[in-house]
Amino acid sequence: MRAIELKESIPVVRETDVLVVGGGPAGVAAALSAARQGLDVTVVEQTNCLGGIATSGLHGHICQYCSWGGEFRVVGGICDEFARSVSARGYGAYDERSFDFEVEALKLVLEEMFLKEKINILYYTQFSDVVVEDGNIRAVVIQSKNGREAVAAKIVIDATGDADVAARAGAPFEKGRADDGATQPMTLMFQIGGVDFQKVHHFREKEYPVKYGDSNKYKLHKLWKEAQDNGDMEPFQDGIMGWWHTPTRPDQLGINFTHIFGKDCTRMEDLTFATIEGRRQAFHTVDVYRKYVPGMEGCWMSHCAAMIGTRESRRIVGEYVITEQDLMAQRDFDDSIGYGSFFIDVHNCTGPGMDSETWNPPKGFKYQIPYRALLPKNVSNLLVAGRCISCTHVALGSLRVMPQCMIEGEAAGAAAAMAVESKSSPRNISIGKLQDTLRKSGAIVLQKDIVKRQP
Protein backbone atom coordinates (compact mmCIF):
# COMPACT_ATOMS: atom_id res chain seq x y z
CA MET A 1 0.00 0.00 0.00
CA ARG A 2 1.23 3.51 -0.84
CA ALA A 3 2.05 5.61 2.23
CA ILE A 4 2.70 9.26 2.89
CA GLU A 5 4.59 10.76 5.78
CA LEU A 6 2.96 13.44 7.87
CA LYS A 7 5.15 15.49 10.14
CA GLU A 8 3.20 17.69 12.47
CA SER A 9 3.47 19.33 15.83
CA ILE A 10 0.25 18.81 17.77
CA PRO A 11 -0.77 21.41 20.37
CA VAL A 12 -1.57 20.15 23.86
CA VAL A 13 -4.80 22.08 24.33
CA ARG A 14 -5.88 20.67 27.65
CA GLU A 15 -4.50 19.12 30.81
CA THR A 16 -6.83 17.08 32.93
CA ASP A 17 -6.65 14.60 35.80
CA VAL A 18 -8.71 11.92 34.08
CA LEU A 19 -9.49 11.62 30.40
CA VAL A 20 -12.38 9.32 29.59
CA VAL A 21 -12.52 8.30 25.93
CA GLY A 22 -16.09 7.37 25.00
CA GLY A 23 -19.28 8.64 26.66
CA GLY A 24 -21.33 5.43 26.63
CA PRO A 25 -22.63 3.66 29.77
CA ALA A 26 -19.10 2.79 30.90
CA GLY A 27 -17.69 6.25 30.14
CA VAL A 28 -20.60 8.07 31.80
CA ALA A 29 -20.17 6.11 35.03
CA ALA A 30 -16.39 6.48 34.93
CA ALA A 31 -16.56 10.25 34.50
CA LEU A 32 -19.18 10.79 37.19
CA SER A 33 -17.37 8.55 39.62
CA ALA A 34 -14.00 10.27 39.13
CA ALA A 35 -15.52 13.77 39.23
CA ARG A 36 -17.35 12.99 42.48
CA GLN A 37 -13.96 12.24 44.02
CA GLY A 38 -13.00 15.83 43.24
CA LEU A 39 -10.98 15.35 40.06
CA ASP A 40 -10.91 17.38 36.88
CA VAL A 41 -12.46 15.08 34.28
CA THR A 42 -12.72 15.39 30.51
CA VAL A 43 -14.80 13.16 28.26
CA VAL A 44 -14.17 12.75 24.53
CA GLU A 45 -17.20 11.53 22.57
CA GLN A 46 -17.51 11.15 18.82
CA THR A 47 -21.29 11.65 18.68
CA ASN A 48 -23.41 14.54 20.00
CA CYS A 49 -24.68 12.99 23.23
CA LEU A 50 -23.83 10.82 26.20
CA GLY A 51 -25.14 7.27 26.60
CA GLY A 52 -23.56 5.30 23.74
CA ILE A 53 -25.74 2.43 22.68
CA ALA A 54 -28.40 3.48 25.23
CA THR A 55 -28.93 6.74 23.31
CA SER A 56 -27.08 7.00 19.97
CA GLY A 57 -27.68 3.28 19.55
CA LEU A 58 -31.38 3.77 20.42
CA HIS A 59 -31.43 0.89 22.86
CA GLY A 60 -33.95 2.21 25.40
CA HIS A 61 -33.75 -0.81 27.68
CA ILE A 62 -31.12 -1.62 30.30
CA CYS A 63 -30.97 -4.93 32.12
CA GLN A 64 -30.46 -6.51 34.41
CA TYR A 65 -30.29 -5.12 37.88
CA CYS A 66 -31.20 -8.24 39.80
CA SER A 67 -30.14 -11.82 40.29
CA TRP A 68 -31.53 -14.14 37.59
CA GLY A 69 -35.17 -14.69 38.38
CA GLY A 70 -35.50 -11.28 40.01
CA GLU A 71 -35.39 -11.87 43.74
CA PHE A 72 -32.45 -9.68 44.76
CA ARG A 73 -31.06 -6.41 43.40
CA VAL A 74 -27.36 -6.88 42.70
CA VAL A 75 -26.63 -3.57 40.92
CA GLY A 76 -26.51 -0.25 42.75
CA GLY A 77 -24.42 2.90 42.35
CA ILE A 78 -24.72 5.23 39.38
CA CYS A 79 -26.60 2.71 37.23
CA ASP A 80 -29.37 2.48 39.83
CA GLU A 81 -29.25 6.23 40.57
CA PHE A 82 -29.90 7.45 37.03
CA ALA A 83 -32.65 4.88 36.42
CA ARG A 84 -34.49 6.22 39.47
CA SER A 85 -33.88 9.80 38.44
CA VAL A 86 -35.14 9.36 34.84
CA SER A 87 -38.21 7.41 36.00
CA ALA A 88 -39.06 9.92 38.75
CA ARG A 89 -39.20 12.62 36.09
CA GLY A 90 -41.70 10.63 34.07
CA TYR A 91 -39.37 9.55 31.28
CA GLY A 92 -39.26 5.83 31.90
CA ALA A 93 -40.03 2.83 34.06
CA TYR A 94 -37.69 1.06 36.45
CA ASP A 95 -38.62 -2.02 38.49
CA GLU A 96 -35.14 -2.91 39.83
CA ARG A 97 -35.05 -5.67 37.23
CA SER A 98 -34.73 -3.59 34.09
CA PHE A 99 -35.05 0.04 33.07
CA ASP A 100 -37.02 1.19 30.00
CA PHE A 101 -36.69 4.83 29.10
CA GLU A 102 -37.16 7.57 26.55
CA VAL A 103 -33.85 7.92 24.79
CA GLU A 104 -33.94 11.71 24.32
CA ALA A 105 -34.70 12.20 28.01
CA LEU A 106 -31.76 10.04 29.02
CA LYS A 107 -29.46 12.30 26.99
CA LEU A 108 -30.82 15.32 28.85
CA VAL A 109 -30.52 13.79 32.31
CA LEU A 110 -26.98 12.57 31.69
CA GLU A 111 -25.90 16.02 30.53
CA GLU A 112 -27.46 17.56 33.63
CA MET A 113 -25.55 15.11 35.82
CA PHE A 114 -22.32 15.96 34.00
CA LEU A 115 -22.85 19.72 34.25
CA LYS A 116 -23.53 19.41 37.97
CA GLU A 117 -20.15 17.70 38.45
CA LYS A 118 -18.44 20.21 36.11
CA ILE A 119 -17.21 17.48 33.77
CA ASN A 120 -15.74 18.80 30.52
CA ILE A 121 -17.55 17.30 27.54
CA LEU A 122 -15.96 17.30 24.08
CA TYR A 123 -18.59 16.17 21.55
CA TYR A 124 -17.91 15.63 17.86
CA THR A 125 -14.41 14.56 18.82
CA GLN A 126 -12.74 11.27 17.97
CA PHE A 127 -9.85 9.57 19.65
CA SER A 128 -7.01 9.40 17.17
CA ASP A 129 -3.73 8.30 18.76
CA VAL A 130 -1.64 8.09 21.91
CA VAL A 131 1.86 9.14 22.82
CA VAL A 132 3.31 6.41 25.05
CA GLU A 133 6.59 6.74 26.92
CA ASP A 134 7.95 4.02 29.21
CA GLY A 135 4.58 2.28 29.35
CA ASN A 136 2.73 5.48 30.29
CA ILE A 137 0.31 7.43 28.12
CA ARG A 138 1.72 10.97 28.04
CA ALA A 139 -0.93 12.43 25.76
CA VAL A 140 -3.99 11.42 23.81
CA VAL A 141 -4.42 12.82 20.31
CA ILE A 142 -7.95 13.76 19.35
CA GLN A 143 -9.48 14.80 16.03
CA SER A 144 -12.31 17.30 15.65
CA LYS A 145 -13.31 20.27 13.52
CA ASN A 146 -10.39 22.02 15.25
CA GLY A 147 -7.97 19.60 13.60
CA ARG A 148 -5.63 17.36 15.55
CA GLU A 149 -5.06 18.36 19.16
CA ALA A 150 -3.65 16.61 22.21
CA VAL A 151 -4.90 16.20 25.78
CA ALA A 152 -2.50 15.37 28.60
CA ALA A 153 -4.03 13.31 31.40
CA LYS A 154 -2.72 11.63 34.53
CA ILE A 155 -5.02 8.64 34.01
CA VAL A 156 -6.83 7.61 30.82
CA ILE A 157 -9.97 5.46 30.84
CA ASP A 158 -10.75 3.65 27.61
CA ALA A 159 -14.55 3.45 27.43
CA THR A 160 -14.80 3.28 23.64
CA GLY A 161 -16.40 -0.18 23.77
CA ASP A 162 -13.82 -1.20 21.16
CA ALA A 163 -10.61 -0.74 23.19
CA ASP A 164 -9.47 1.84 20.62
CA VAL A 165 -7.07 3.49 23.08
CA ALA A 166 -5.70 0.27 24.57
CA ALA A 167 -5.05 -1.20 21.12
CA ARG A 168 -3.29 1.94 19.93
CA ALA A 169 -1.24 2.10 23.14
CA GLY A 170 0.10 -1.41 22.57
CA ALA A 171 -1.98 -3.36 25.09
CA PRO A 172 -2.73 -6.92 23.97
CA PHE A 173 -6.28 -7.71 22.88
CA GLU A 174 -8.41 -10.40 21.26
CA LYS A 175 -11.33 -10.13 18.91
CA GLY A 176 -14.22 -12.54 18.49
CA ARG A 177 -14.24 -16.31 18.77
CA ALA A 178 -10.98 -18.07 19.60
CA ASP A 179 -11.06 -20.33 16.49
CA ASP A 180 -12.03 -17.93 13.70
CA GLY A 181 -12.24 -14.41 15.20
CA ALA A 182 -15.92 -14.07 14.23
CA THR A 183 -17.83 -11.59 16.37
CA GLN A 184 -21.50 -11.35 17.28
CA PRO A 185 -23.60 -9.55 14.65
CA MET A 186 -24.28 -5.82 14.65
CA THR A 187 -27.82 -4.43 14.94
CA LEU A 188 -29.24 -1.11 13.81
CA MET A 189 -32.02 -0.37 16.29
CA PHE A 190 -35.12 1.49 15.12
CA GLN A 191 -38.24 2.97 16.62
CA ILE A 192 -41.77 2.54 15.31
CA GLY A 193 -44.97 4.37 16.18
CA GLY A 194 -48.65 3.62 15.66
CA VAL A 195 -48.54 0.35 17.60
CA ASP A 196 -51.51 -1.01 19.53
CA PHE A 197 -49.28 -2.54 22.14
CA GLN A 198 -52.08 -4.10 24.18
CA LYS A 199 -53.21 -5.99 21.10
CA VAL A 200 -49.64 -7.06 20.32
CA HIS A 201 -49.11 -8.10 23.90
CA HIS A 202 -52.34 -10.06 24.00
CA PHE A 203 -51.43 -11.89 20.79
CA ARG A 204 -48.00 -12.74 22.07
CA GLU A 205 -49.24 -13.97 25.45
CA LYS A 206 -51.92 -16.10 23.81
CA GLU A 207 -49.90 -17.59 20.98
CA TYR A 208 -46.48 -17.68 22.55
CA PRO A 209 -46.66 -17.97 26.33
CA VAL A 210 -43.28 -17.52 27.99
CA LYS A 211 -42.15 -20.46 30.05
CA TYR A 212 -39.10 -20.30 32.25
CA GLY A 213 -36.02 -21.45 30.34
CA ASP A 214 -37.80 -21.36 26.98
CA SER A 215 -37.04 -17.94 25.58
CA ASN A 216 -37.86 -19.12 22.05
CA LYS A 217 -41.62 -18.77 22.48
CA TYR A 218 -41.31 -15.07 23.16
CA LYS A 219 -39.47 -14.54 19.91
CA LEU A 220 -42.40 -15.38 17.59
CA HIS A 221 -40.38 -17.81 15.46
CA LYS A 222 -43.44 -19.35 13.79
CA LEU A 223 -44.61 -15.99 12.57
CA TRP A 224 -41.30 -15.05 10.90
CA LYS A 225 -41.07 -18.49 9.33
CA GLU A 226 -44.51 -18.05 7.85
CA ALA A 227 -43.50 -14.65 6.43
CA GLN A 228 -40.34 -16.18 4.99
CA ASP A 229 -42.17 -19.16 3.51
CA ASN A 230 -44.58 -16.74 1.84
CA GLY A 231 -41.66 -14.83 0.32
CA ASP A 232 -42.47 -11.71 2.36
CA MET A 233 -39.40 -11.71 4.54
CA GLU A 234 -35.70 -12.11 3.93
CA PRO A 235 -34.00 -14.62 6.23
CA PHE A 236 -31.79 -12.18 8.14
CA GLN A 237 -33.62 -12.87 11.37
CA ASP A 238 -35.69 -15.64 12.91
CA GLY A 239 -36.72 -14.12 16.24
CA ILE A 240 -37.33 -10.87 18.05
CA MET A 241 -34.25 -9.86 19.95
CA GLY A 242 -36.17 -7.24 21.88
CA TRP A 243 -39.25 -5.06 21.61
CA TRP A 244 -38.71 -2.24 24.07
CA HIS A 245 -41.69 -0.40 25.34
CA THR A 246 -42.19 2.32 27.93
CA PRO A 247 -45.62 3.25 29.34
CA THR A 248 -44.70 6.93 28.81
CA ARG A 249 -44.87 6.33 25.02
CA PRO A 250 -47.71 3.82 24.79
CA ASP A 251 -47.83 3.50 21.00
CA GLN A 252 -44.11 3.27 20.31
CA LEU A 253 -41.67 0.37 20.29
CA GLY A 254 -37.90 0.20 20.07
CA ILE A 255 -37.02 -2.71 17.83
CA ASN A 256 -34.01 -4.96 18.15
CA PHE A 257 -34.41 -7.13 15.06
CA THR A 258 -31.87 -6.37 12.33
CA HIS A 259 -28.76 -8.55 12.20
CA ILE A 260 -25.65 -7.86 10.15
CA PHE A 261 -23.13 -10.72 10.26
CA GLY A 262 -19.53 -11.29 9.35
CA LYS A 263 -18.38 -7.69 9.78
CA ASP A 264 -15.68 -6.15 11.95
CA CYS A 265 -16.91 -3.23 14.07
CA THR A 266 -13.41 -1.77 14.28
CA ARG A 267 -13.30 -1.15 10.51
CA MET A 268 -14.87 1.97 9.05
CA GLU A 269 -15.84 0.17 5.82
CA ASP A 270 -17.70 -2.52 7.77
CA LEU A 271 -19.47 0.02 9.99
CA THR A 272 -20.61 1.85 6.87
CA PHE A 273 -21.86 -1.33 5.21
CA ALA A 274 -23.65 -2.48 8.38
CA THR A 275 -25.42 0.86 8.82
CA ILE A 276 -26.72 0.92 5.25
CA GLU A 277 -27.74 -2.73 5.39
CA GLY A 278 -29.30 -2.26 8.85
CA ARG A 279 -31.47 0.61 7.62
CA ARG A 280 -32.61 -1.48 4.66
CA GLN A 281 -33.51 -4.37 6.98
CA ALA A 282 -35.34 -1.98 9.33
CA PHE A 283 -37.67 -0.64 6.63
CA HIS A 284 -38.20 -4.16 5.30
CA THR A 285 -39.16 -5.25 8.84
CA VAL A 286 -41.81 -2.54 9.14
CA ASP A 287 -43.50 -3.95 6.02
CA VAL A 288 -43.46 -7.44 7.54
CA TYR A 289 -44.81 -6.23 10.89
CA ARG A 290 -47.69 -4.41 9.20
CA LYS A 291 -48.71 -7.53 7.35
CA TYR A 292 -48.21 -10.18 10.03
CA VAL A 293 -48.36 -8.82 13.59
CA PRO A 294 -51.81 -8.11 15.11
CA GLY A 295 -51.65 -4.62 16.59
CA MET A 296 -49.02 -3.41 14.14
CA GLU A 297 -51.24 -3.05 11.06
CA GLY A 298 -50.82 0.73 11.09
CA CYS A 299 -47.29 1.04 12.44
CA TRP A 300 -44.83 3.48 10.91
CA MET A 301 -41.09 4.05 10.97
CA SER A 302 -40.18 6.81 13.38
CA HIS A 303 -36.38 6.70 13.15
CA CYS A 304 -33.32 4.49 12.97
CA ALA A 305 -30.45 4.77 15.46
CA ALA A 306 -27.78 7.36 14.80
CA MET A 307 -25.14 4.73 15.56
CA ILE A 308 -24.99 1.07 14.62
CA GLY A 309 -25.10 -1.26 17.66
CA THR A 310 -21.96 -3.26 18.28
CA ARG A 311 -22.22 -6.37 20.43
CA GLU A 312 -18.61 -7.40 20.26
CA SER A 313 -15.27 -6.17 18.99
CA ARG A 314 -11.91 -6.03 20.79
CA ARG A 315 -11.52 -7.37 24.30
CA ILE A 316 -8.31 -6.52 26.12
CA VAL A 317 -6.21 -9.33 27.57
CA GLY A 318 -5.80 -7.84 31.01
CA GLU A 319 -4.44 -8.88 34.39
CA TYR A 320 -7.33 -11.32 34.70
CA VAL A 321 -9.41 -12.81 31.89
CA ILE A 322 -12.97 -13.57 33.02
CA THR A 323 -14.17 -16.89 31.60
CA GLU A 324 -17.57 -18.46 31.12
CA GLN A 325 -16.54 -21.04 33.74
CA ASP A 326 -16.16 -18.21 36.26
CA LEU A 327 -19.67 -17.07 35.43
CA MET A 328 -21.32 -20.48 35.48
CA ALA A 329 -19.62 -21.33 38.80
CA GLN A 330 -20.84 -17.94 40.14
CA ARG A 331 -17.33 -17.23 41.33
CA ASP A 332 -16.46 -14.68 43.98
CA PHE A 333 -13.27 -12.63 43.71
CA ASP A 334 -11.26 -10.82 46.40
CA ASP A 335 -11.11 -7.80 44.09
CA SER A 336 -14.85 -7.76 43.30
CA ILE A 337 -16.18 -4.42 42.03
CA GLY A 338 -19.76 -5.58 41.59
CA TYR A 339 -22.04 -8.21 40.13
CA GLY A 340 -23.22 -9.50 36.80
CA SER A 341 -26.34 -11.64 36.46
CA PHE A 342 -27.44 -11.63 32.81
CA PHE A 343 -27.70 -14.94 30.95
CA ILE A 344 -24.90 -15.79 28.51
CA ASP A 345 -26.46 -14.15 25.47
CA VAL A 346 -24.43 -15.01 22.37
CA HIS A 347 -26.05 -14.15 19.07
CA ASN A 348 -25.25 -16.35 16.11
CA CYS A 349 -22.08 -14.94 14.50
CA THR A 350 -22.89 -16.26 11.03
CA GLY A 351 -26.67 -16.34 10.64
CA PRO A 352 -29.99 -15.42 12.21
CA GLY A 353 -30.91 -16.25 15.78
CA MET A 354 -28.82 -17.29 18.73
CA ASP A 355 -25.61 -19.26 19.07
CA SER A 356 -25.50 -22.70 20.73
CA GLU A 357 -23.13 -21.21 23.33
CA THR A 358 -26.02 -19.21 24.77
CA TRP A 359 -26.59 -20.38 28.35
CA ASN A 360 -29.68 -20.03 30.49
CA PRO A 361 -28.67 -19.76 34.13
CA PRO A 362 -30.41 -21.18 37.18
CA LYS A 363 -32.61 -18.93 39.30
CA GLY A 364 -30.62 -16.72 41.63
CA PHE A 365 -27.63 -16.58 39.24
CA LYS A 366 -25.08 -13.84 39.90
CA TYR A 367 -21.28 -13.59 39.77
CA GLN A 368 -18.64 -11.10 40.80
CA ILE A 369 -16.56 -8.98 38.42
CA PRO A 370 -12.86 -8.71 39.37
CA TYR A 371 -11.12 -5.33 39.20
CA ARG A 372 -8.09 -6.90 37.46
CA ALA A 373 -10.19 -7.35 34.29
CA LEU A 374 -10.04 -3.54 33.86
CA LEU A 375 -6.23 -3.44 33.91
CA PRO A 376 -4.61 -3.81 30.50
CA LYS A 377 -1.13 -5.22 30.23
CA ASN A 378 1.82 -3.01 29.18
CA VAL A 379 0.26 0.39 29.93
CA SER A 380 0.37 1.61 33.52
CA ASN A 381 -1.89 4.69 33.55
CA LEU A 382 -4.74 3.19 31.51
CA LEU A 383 -7.96 1.57 32.70
CA VAL A 384 -10.50 -0.11 30.44
CA ALA A 385 -14.22 -0.27 31.20
CA GLY A 386 -17.27 -1.55 29.34
CA ARG A 387 -17.75 -4.04 26.55
CA CYS A 388 -14.01 -4.32 25.87
CA ILE A 389 -12.82 -5.50 29.31
CA SER A 390 -10.74 -8.61 29.71
CA CYS A 391 -12.96 -11.68 29.21
CA THR A 392 -13.57 -14.53 26.80
CA HIS A 393 -15.89 -14.35 23.80
CA VAL A 394 -18.53 -16.45 25.59
CA ALA A 395 -18.27 -14.63 28.94
CA LEU A 396 -18.81 -11.36 27.08
CA GLY A 397 -22.28 -12.67 26.20
CA SER A 398 -23.27 -11.83 29.78
CA LEU A 399 -20.77 -9.12 30.74
CA ARG A 400 -21.58 -6.86 27.78
CA VAL A 401 -24.89 -5.59 29.14
CA MET A 402 -25.12 -2.01 30.37
CA PRO A 403 -25.37 -2.40 34.15
CA GLN A 404 -22.10 -4.32 34.15
CA CYS A 405 -20.46 -1.77 31.84
CA MET A 406 -21.53 0.95 34.28
CA ILE A 407 -20.26 -0.98 37.30
CA GLU A 408 -16.89 -1.26 35.58
CA GLY A 409 -16.93 2.42 34.65
CA GLU A 410 -17.78 3.48 38.19
CA ALA A 411 -14.95 1.34 39.56
CA ALA A 412 -12.52 2.66 36.95
CA GLY A 413 -13.39 6.27 37.85
CA ALA A 414 -12.93 5.67 41.57
CA ALA A 415 -9.69 3.77 40.99
CA ALA A 416 -8.41 6.58 38.77
CA ALA A 417 -9.09 9.07 41.57
CA MET A 418 -7.15 6.93 44.03
CA ALA A 419 -4.26 6.62 41.60
CA VAL A 420 -4.15 10.37 41.02
CA GLU A 421 -4.25 11.06 44.74
CA SER A 422 -1.45 8.61 45.50
CA LYS A 423 0.50 9.54 42.34
CA SER A 424 0.69 5.89 41.37
CA SER A 425 -0.73 3.46 38.85
CA PRO A 426 -4.29 2.08 39.09
CA ARG A 427 -2.65 -1.32 39.44
CA ASN A 428 -1.12 -0.31 42.80
CA ILE A 429 -4.20 0.98 44.60
CA SER A 430 -5.73 -0.62 47.69
CA ILE A 431 -8.60 -2.89 46.66
CA GLY A 432 -10.19 -2.63 50.10
CA LYS A 433 -10.23 1.15 49.85
CA LEU A 434 -11.67 1.00 46.34
CA GLN A 435 -14.46 -1.30 47.50
CA ASP A 436 -15.20 1.01 50.44
CA THR A 437 -15.40 4.04 48.15
CA LEU A 438 -17.80 2.26 45.80
CA ARG A 439 -19.99 1.01 48.63
CA LYS A 440 -20.22 4.48 50.16
CA SER A 441 -21.66 5.64 46.82
CA GLY A 442 -24.36 2.99 46.95
CA ALA A 443 -22.67 0.35 44.81
CA ILE A 444 -23.28 -3.34 45.48
CA VAL A 445 -19.81 -4.83 45.66
CA LEU A 446 -19.99 -7.79 48.03
CA GLN A 447 -22.57 -10.34 49.15
CA LYS A 448 -23.47 -8.26 52.22
CA ASP A 449 -24.50 -5.29 50.01
CA ILE A 450 -27.14 -7.24 48.07
CA VAL A 451 -30.73 -6.19 48.80
CA LYS A 452 -34.16 -7.72 48.30
CA ARG A 453 -35.73 -6.34 45.12
CA GLN A 454 -38.45 -3.74 45.69
CA PRO A 455 -40.29 -3.24 42.40
Ligand X SMILES: Cc1cc2nc3c(=O)[nH]c(=O)nc-3n(C[C@H](O)[C@H](O)[C@H](O)COP(=O)(O)OP(=O)(O)OC[C@H]3O[C@@H](n4cnc5c(N)ncnc54)[C@H](O)[C@@H]3O)c2cc1C
Chain positions contacting ligand X, by CB under 6 A: 21-27, 44-47, 52-53, 56-57, 59, 61-63, 126-127, 159-162, 164, 187, 189, 242, 256, 309-311, 386-387, 400-402, 405
Tell me how far, at minimum, the Cβ of 304 lies from ligand X, in Å. 12
Nearer to ligand X among residue 42 and residue 46 (C-beta): 46
Tell me how far, at minimum, the Cβ of 230 lies from ligand X, in Å. 27
Nearer to ligand X among residue 196 and residue 426 (C-beta): 426
Nearer to ligand X among residue 144 and residue 323 (C-beta): 144
Tell me how far, at minimum, the Cβ of 18 lies from ligand X, in Å. 15
User: Mapped to the 3 state alphabet, what secondary structure does 305-371 carry?
Assistant: CCCCECCCCEEECECCCECHHHHHCCCCCCCEEEEECCCECCECCCCCCECCCCECCCCCCCEEEEH
* Per-residue exposure over 194-209, b if at least 16 CB sit within 10 Å of its own CB, e if not: bbbbeebeebbeeebe
Nearer to ligand X among residue 23 and residue 361 (C-beta): 23
Nearest residue to ligand X by CB is: 24
Nearer to ligand X among residue 103 and residue 401 (C-beta): 401
Tell me how far, at minimum, the Cβ of 169 lies from ligand X, in Å. 13
Quote the CA–CA distance of 408 and 138 in Å, as a whole number.
Answer: 24
Tell me how far, at minimum, the Cβ of 251 lies from ligand X, in Å. 21
Tell me how far, at minimum, the Cβ of 416 lies from ligand X, in Å. 16
Nearer to ligand X among residue 57 and residue 176 (C-beta): 57
Nearer to ligand X among residue 127 and residue 320 (C-beta): 127
Tell me how far, at minimum, the Cβ of 39 lies from ligand X, in Å. 20
Tell me how far, at minimum, the Cβ of 424 lies from ligand X, in Å. 26
Nearer to ligand X among residue 245 and residue 387 (C-beta): 387
Nearer to ligand X among residue 184 and residue 196 (C-beta): 184
Sign, Cα dihedral of 79, 80, 86, 92? positive
Nearer to ligand X among residue 196 and residue 369 (C-beta): 369
Tell me how far, at minimum, the Cβ of 23 lies from ligand X, in Å. 5
Tell me how far, at minimum, the Cβ of 31 lies from ligand X, in Å. 11
